[in-house]
Amino acid sequence: MYEFLKTLGFVTVAGLLTAAAVLTHSTTPGSPQVFSLQGQPFFPELKDWGAAASLEVYDFDESKNEPQAFKVEFKDGVWRIPSKDNYPADAKDRLKDVAGVFATLERGQLRSNVGEGGAEKSWIETQKDCGVIDPKAPLKDPTQGRGRRIVLRDSGDAVLADLIVGGEVEGAYGKRYVRKADEKQIYTATLDLEVSTKFGDWIESDLLQLEPAAITSITVRRYTVDEEQIRLGRIYLDDEDTIVLGQTDGRWTVDGMTDEQQASMAAVDSMTETLSELTIKDVLPFSVDELFRVGIFPTNDGVFSNEGELRVDLETGVRYNLRFGEVVRGEEDEEGLRRYLWIDAEAFYDALPNPEDAAAREAADKRVAELNERFAGWFYVIGARSFDALRPSRKGLLEPRSEPIDAEPGTNFFPPVDDHGTDDGHGHEDPPGEDPPLGDARPPEDGAVTPEDGTPEDGAVTPEDGAPEDGAVTPEDGTQEDGAVTPEDRTPEDGAPEETPKDDAAPPPAEEAPPPAEETPPPAEETPPPAEETPP
């Protein structure tokens, strides 16, 4: 009996030890079975990267104490964002990239569940330490330490990948703690994946699809609708101003600018860059019932908007109309208040190089139809920075001219160059460094011979004398022009001039000398040839 009980006791202990070993093997992170998964892919079944038809991203918003969901899916042949009223998304390549990362993602080092003191921590505490608590977990679980959950599904809604991404591994650059949503093992993994949940990052960034070089003109209509009058059924516009900018061969002008002004290229560049890369913050489905709320007012005289409008004409014959509506209530970011924007397009053939070109008109009509199909269903939301750039003041569009006007005469954008002479008052009648002629007499023509009392040109020969030295003076009439002498007073050949004392009482030359035409006979009859007059 004693031997039987002893044997039974051994069997019982052995059974308990075996059971404990089995349990330990199946649940302890350090068991060979769990370690054997290190270096293996997380999702070995994910072979076709292009099979992903939807992406779901969940984050926990601690300020709202609730999870936030973002989803992109391929539906009815179009990538859409369900959380934004199925707005079209630019997601095909993005989802393929995410699927490629998940397909090649490998399990790294197994994260231990044992704390520093050797006692095993609870599963929740371990997740919290690694930042891999499911963001969709019940609120009874800690709100801190929640990770980001990323789910990929195929077109049949089957799960291709479901991963919770946690915090960075300390001291290991590029590594994070991760776990599959349906597993309780936490691994490190080398993960270079940033999946944005910003709406603007998933849509077509080039909303208007225009090239700044193709713009022929921009019309800024600045005004504010009087909302008090709107309630009475009337439209009144306050602070109205219309500014027209034109572009020809890359040169911009502003209507009404003076010769001392030019277009501010900083303001113009800000406008054109904003137009070519218009950033959309949010969207609201179009509804006639929403028109007044967003600040758009259709009337018999046209459509008016709360804060004015912008018209952009292209050389392709397409005109964009951008209407700035009301401020989005309760929404503000680092830029400031957001605002509604309504966009439509129309054909404007006058902007074509040849407005009568039938093929160009047809192409413009086709492009307008494509754009309106894109714009028609939505009110857009833009930031304060975009609004300010697209609604400049006249003062902000002008600056002092920094260089002379150099446009061709007769252009529409710059005044023609004046065809002025030497008497326009600009001071170029008398070249610097030369003495003006005496009295009111005009300088003689080059090479002309002067009469006795006139002023000879440099080098001119007098009737009786040879060429005098510079600085000679006359005995009777005062100082003459440079180099002039009288017939009675010659300069000796040795070059020494014979000076005559100046008569202080002599009247001014202009009053004493009679008019040359009355006193002097024609030079040709009076002056003998120089060879006969001057002795050798």
Q: Which long-range contacts (CB under 8 A, 24 or more apart) does 81-86 make?
A: 81/199, 81/202, 81/203, 84/199, 84/282, 84/283, 85/283, 85/284, 85/285
Asked if residue 340 belongs to a domain, the reply is yes
Let me know whether 225 and 122 are in one domain.
Answer: no
236/184 same-domain check = no
Predicted pLDDT of residue 233: 72
Cα distances (Å, whole numbers) of residue 201 to 89, 94, 96, 206, 279: 9, 10, 16, 12, 10
Residue 21 has pLDDT above 80, yes or no: no
Task: Pick left, alpha or beta for residue 157 (phi over 0 → left; psi -120 to 50 → alpha; otherwise beta).
Answer: left
Residues in a beta bridge with 149: 58, 164
Q: What is the mean pLDDT of residues 226-248?
A: 85
Q: Which of 364, 380, 400 is the last residue of a domain?
A: 400
Based on the fold, state whether residues 262 and 346 are members of the same structural domain.
Answer: yes
- What letter represents residue 486's amino acid? T
**Could you tell me where the beta strands, DSSP code E, fall in 388-485?**
398-400
Is residue 200 pLDDT above 70, yes or no? yes
* Shared-domain flag, residues 191 and 255: no
Report the pLDDT value the prediction gives residue 510, as an integer from 0 to 100.
46
Residue 427 counted as domain residue:
no
- pLDDT band at residue 252, thresholds of 50, 70 and 90? very high
Tell me how many domains the chain contains: 3
Confidence of residue 500 (pLDDT cuts 50, 70, 90): very low
Per-residue pLDDT reduced to its tens digit, 152-168: 999 999 999 999 999 99
Domain that holds residue 252: 212-400
238 and 175 housed in the same domain = no
Given a cut of 50, is residue 493 above it in pLDDT? no
Q: What percent of the chain has pLDDT over 90?
A: 49
Instruction: Find the mean pLDDT for residues 97-122.
Output: 75
Instruction: State mean pLDDT over 179-192.
Output: 92
Assess whether pLDDT exceeds 70 at residue 8: no
Q: Strand 54-61 to strand 148-153: parallel, antiparallel, or no bridges (unpaired)?
A: antiparallel
In a domain, 513, yes or no: yes
- What is the mean predicted confidence (pLDDT) over 520-536? 47
Per-residue pLDDT tens over the stretch 454-464: 444 444 444 44
Separation of alpha carbons 68 and 197, rounded Å: 9
Could you tell me which residues are beta bridge partners of residue 340?
381
pLDDT of residue 497: 45
Q: Evaluate whether residue 406 is within a structural domain.
A: no
| Interacting residues of 54 by C-beta distance below 8 A, sequence separation 6+ | 71, 72, 73, 74, 95, 152, 153, 157
Decide if 111 contacts 46 (C-beta within 8 A): no
Token pair in block for residue 520: 């002097």
Q: Alpha helices of 254-383 — where are they, by DSSP H?
A: 265-276, 291-294, 358-375
Does residue 439 fall inside a structural domain?
no
Are residues 126 and 176 located together in one domain of the fold? yes
CB 474 within 8 A of CB 454: no
Domain annotation covers residue 206: no
Same domain, 238 and 265: yes
- The mean pLDDT value of the chain amounts to 77
CA distance 135 to 142: 10
Mean pLDDT of 408-435: 43
pLDDT at 267 over 70: yes
Reported pTM: 0.64
Please tell me whether residues 193 and 217 are part of one structural domain: no
**Above 60 in pLDDT, residue 359?**
yes
Single out the residue in 201, 225, 253 at which a domain terminates: 201
In a domain, 375, yes or no: yes
The pLDDT score that the predictor gives to residue 60 is 94
Q: Mark which of 340, 365, 400 sits at the end of a domain.
A: 400
Token pair belonging to 181: 């949503």
Work out the average pLDDT over 489-495: 46
How many Cα atoms within 13 Å fall on the side-chain side of residue 7?
Answer: 4
The answer to the question of residue 86 being in a domain is yes
- The answer for residues whose C-beta is within 8 angstroms of residue 247's C-beta and 6 or more apart is 215, 216, 217, 253
